[in-house]
Amino acid sequence: MPTKRESEAVVLEVRIVARPETIFPFFTDPVRMARWKGVSAELDPRPGGIYRCNVTGGDIARGTYVEVVPNKRVVFTWGWEDAGNPVPPGSSTVEVTLIPDGDGTIVRLRHMDLPKAARAPHTEGWNHFLPRLAAVAESRDPGPDPWVSRDKMGS
């Protein structure tokens, strides 16, 4: 029986036509992360290392890596740096599991510990970014991210 934490999690999956070893660095390398999610990232992919991603040029997600299993799984805490956000830095947890599937990989993302009011916007966010991950991992251009504010690109 799932725990309350698991039953209230945002859970999404996407199948990407790429091997886990191709996809994994998009969660651990700052240059690769910025290709699908955000304008810049500061990442130290080891337990206790920083996870910080400037997602839109103004909205910054921050947490720490909890678990890093190369080409299989990455877990990090998550929250937003802006004061007053109901999801402060490190208050929720994102778990990404890479499951080999023939010529591709199932990317299973679980975002746990979100307040009820924050689940729908985070579901929308991950539904926006996971197809962008699929595009870059499959060597396609995801195009400009419409969520990035042009006037904040230099921030």
> Cα separation of 87 and 119, whole Å?
10
Residue 96, in any domain of the structure: yes
Give the count of domains, the chain: 1
What percentage of the chain has pLDDT greater than the value 90?
A: 88
Query: CATH no. for residue 122?
Result: 3.30.530.20
Residue 152, in any domain of the structure: no
Residue 52, in any domain of the structure: yes
For residue 110, give both structure tokens. Answer: 């679980």
Residue 106, in any domain of the structure: yes
91-121 pLDDT, tens digit each: 999 999 999 999 999 999 999 999 999 999 9
Give the containing element (helix H, strand E) for 121: helix 116-137
Kindly state the average pLDDT of the residues 47-62: 96
The number of helix segments (H) and strand segments (E) in the chain equals 4, 7
Residue 38, in any domain of the structure: yes
For residue 77, give both structure tokens. Answer: 């805490």
Q: Which domain holds residue 85?
A: 4-140
> Which whole-number Å values give the CA distances from 109 to 26, 49, 154, in the listed order?
14, 20, 30
In angstroms, how far is CA 64 from the centroid of its own chain? 12
- Confidence at residue 154, expressed as pLDDT on a 0 to 100 scale: 45
